[in-house]
Structure formats: C-alpha cells, structure tokens
Amino acid sequence: MNVGRSEKQDSDIRQTPHVNINPFTPDSMFLHNSERQCRRRKRTHWNDSCGEDMEASDGEPEDETIRPAKRITITESNMKSRYATEFHELEKIGSGEFGSVFKCVKRLDGCIYAIKRSKKPLAGSVDEQNALREVYAHAVLGQHSHVVRYYSAWAEDDHMLIQNEYCNADAISENYRNMRYFTEPELKDLLLQVARGLKYIHSMSLVHMDIKPSNIFISRTSVPNTTSEEGDDDEWSSDRVIFKIGDLGHVTRVSSPQVEEGDSRFLANEVLQENYTHLPKADIFALALTVVCAAGAEPLPTNGDQWHEIRQGKLPRIPQVLSQELLDLLKVMISPDAEKRPSAVALVKHSVLLSAAKKSAEQLRIELNAEKFKNSLLQKELKKAQMAKAAAEERALFTDRMTTRSTTQSRPSRLIGKKMNRSVSLTIY
C-alpha cells in the first residue's frame, strides 16, 4: 500500500501545474493555505492509522497551494500576438528605461488602456526578474484609488506587456513643460493623495522605492469623490483630478528586501548606504522632493554638494511663497534621520493637510447648500404656479356653472300636459 501511495504522490507531482508564486502576496494568504495543508497531513495520518485507504480530503477541496518545481520564464509564457488581436494602438504616450507605453483601445469593450511594452527581449536577461517584479506588484497593489489600476500582463516574442489603466498624463511634468507650477492648495492636494497611496502600499508590507514626478499620474474626473479612505478622518477627495502612483518596477518587501535603487535625485541617503531598516521612510523622502518639484524648484541634482545638502535636511529653493507650516512639513519629510520622518499614516492625518482637506470639504458643502437653496426656490415657484393654475381652473369651472344656471332660469316654463289631448265628459240630467 505504501508503494502505491508513493507512486500516486509522484504522479501528483508530475501533474502539478508550473506557476509562479507572487512574492508580494500578503503572508496571511500563505498562512491560510499552510494551515489547510497541515490539516490535510493530519487527516492522512489518521486514515493510515485506521488501515483505510481513504482520500485525505473527506469531501473538502484539495489544498490549493501550488509550489512549482521551477519558475515559469517569459519564454514559456509566450503566446500569439494578443496585442495586435485584442488592441488597436492609438499613439505612443511615454518611454522610459524599461520600455514604451502606448495608448490603446481594446477592440472588444471599446475602452482605452495603457499598454507598457519592454524595449528589448527579456528572456534570460537581468531585466527579466525586474519585469516580473512589476507584474507581481501590480497584481497585488492595482486595486486602490491612488495606485494605477492593473488589468493583465503577458509575453510576446520574449517582450513583457502590461495592460494598465489609462491616465491622462504625469501631472507634474505636464505642468513643468507648460511653465505652470502647483499652487499651495494643489501641492497639499498632491501630497495628501499620494500619501494615501503610500499608506496602502506600506500597509501591504511593501515599499515603492521609485517615487518621483514622472511616476505620479493624474486621472481627471468631473465627479467629486467624497468617499473616505478606511481609517481616514476626513471625507474629502479632489474634485479636479485624482493622483495615482504608477511604475511599480522597483517595489520590494519591507522584510528581506531586494532593493533596486531608483532615481538618484530622489534617493534617500540611508538607502544609498544600504541601510534598509526604515524603507517606508525612503518613500516619504522621495515624496517630499516630488512636491518640491511640483512647486517649481530647479531640476534636482544627481550628485555633488547640493545633493548632499538636501540629504542633510536643506530644502531646495522654491520660486513661490509657501506657508511656513507646509515648508516645515516638507523639511521634516527629508530629515537625515529616517525615524523622524512622518509615516504615510501620520501624513494623511497631519493637521497641515487635514486643514486643507476640511477647507475643500467646506467649500463643497457651501456649493451643495447653494444648490439646495436654488432647488428650494424652484420648488416654491413651482408650487405657486400649480396653485395659480388650480385657482384659474376653479374660476373657469365656476363661471361655466353660473352661465349654465342663468340660461336655464331665463327659459319659459313648460306646462305638464300642455300638448296632451284632454277628454271632456258631459253629464245631462
């Protein structure tokens, strides 16, 4: 019986499908599957001790945890040109170190998407793992209002393609090209929304590691989004644009990280020194410099004295007057001591940003009350018009009745029996 069981186990291993394990999947999911696997082993042991050749499931589904014998490469997942079959390319909208991004319309649903395609074949190259890392990160993080949404990924001709939500543009670079810089309310708006995105990423025990202007995108909407984030005290979101974090190619775990250094202009000094103790605070450092760029600062240095001055806590020169409270917040966000920088959770509740959020919420309430007042006036006018119409109809009906009655009274009365033949009887005595 043991020999048969061994053969069955070998057969199961051979039939196990080879799939990649997403390293960014929350540990709780693995824990759940591990517990199920443990219970399955216990049931199998109990069945053996009873001398019965029973299936371990006892009516329960088999364990779904799939541990592949080897990792699936991009070559093995190649397929026919899904890109050409399913999408119509409209235009190229961006290009970076990894590849190019195209604005496409999906033939089936008619919706617009952004398709990112690697510049060169990745199979067997150093960039292959980085490409898979971005897919893994998108798959885990792509369902938040302040993270660019992920839809699908596949390989063609050894090139990786990632289908994401289409965003209008990267907000800061667009404004910079037009020589228009964010005002203070807009800077607070940007800071608050991106902090909310980072709060979500960090809550998944992951870090972005490449926050910079070109990785912050905007999704324009004409409908205010007043739905609060879970755990946030305020109920405000911009009624102009929604800011979204994109390009997840450098995402890594907080524990046992595999750090790929991002843009040196936004890189915290402790990361350069390979001190990964407070990795989420590196995202906070980069976010502060991103806001500084949005405020109109000169292009940040890639190295040199000014680079080191920034890492010592000195803000770059900003060519517009900002409140001291906002400058103080940005300054603490680039503190040389990572522990002193606020967390993303603290940022979304910070008084500087909360005051701006509440002010915007108050403005929305004022506009809503004004619309309600206008609606109330219209309702009153409508009611008056309806009452006037009803009164006019009543008067018209009354006049008709009076006219009819008057006509009836003016006619001569008809004697009953006037035209009837009468019988005359004579009595003769």
Q: What is the pLDDT of residues 126-143, one digit of tens each?
A: 677 778 888 999 889 878
Query: Mind listing the pLDDT tens digit for each residue in 61-77?
Result: 444 444 554 555 555 55
CB contact burial 163-187 (16+ within 10 A = b; e otherwise): bbbbbebbbbbebbeeeebbeeebb
pLDDT at 393: 82
What CATH number does residue 200 fall under?
A: 1.10.510.10
Query: Mind listing the pLDDT tens digit for each residue in 270-329?
Result: 999 999 999 999 999 999 999 999 999 999 999 999 999 999 999 999 999 999 999 999
395 lies in some domain = no
Q: Cα–chain-centroid distance for residue 311?
A: 32
Choose, from 210, 232, 263, 283, the residue flagged as catalytic.
210
pLDDT of 10 over the 50 cut: yes
Query: Mind listing the pLDDT tens digit for each residue in 77-112?
Result: 555 689 999 999 999 988 877 789 999 999 999 999
Number of helices (H), then strands (E), in the chain: 12, 10
Same domain, 45 and 29: yes
Total domains in the chain come to 3
387 lies in some domain = no
Highest mean pLDDT among 151-160, 164-173, 315-324, 393-402: 315-324
Same domain, 160 and 201: no
Same domain, 226 and 328: yes
Give the domain-ending residue among 361, 386, 402.
361
Region of 272 on the Ramachandran plot (φ > 0 left; ψ -120 to 50 alpha; else beta) = alpha
Same domain, 287 and 323: yes
pLDDT of 26 over the 60 cut: yes
Same domain, 316 and 246: yes
Give the domain-ending residue among 165, 191, 207.
165
Same domain, 89 and 44: no
Residue 277 near residue 337 (C-beta atoms within 8 A):
no
Same domain, 53 and 155: no
pTM, two decimals, is 0.65
Binding-site entries: 93-101, 116, 215, 247
The secondary structure of 100-113, three-state, reads EEEEEEECCCCCEE
Give the domain-ending residue among 70, 94, 114.
70
pLDDT at 367: 57
Range of the domain at 237: 169-361
Dihedral of alpha carbons 33, 37, 40, 42, sign: negative
DSSP state of 147: B
What CATH number does residue 117 fall under?
A: 3.30.200.20
Same domain, 266 and 336: yes
Task: Flag the least confident range among 123-127, 189-193, 233-237.
Answer: 233-237
Instruction: Decide if 210 is catalytic.
Output: yes
Same domain, 333 and 249: yes
Binding-site entries for ATP: 93-101, 116
**Assigned token pair, 348:** 């979304």
Average pLDDT, the chain: 77
pLDDT of 2 over the 50 cut: yes
Same domain, 155 and 178: no
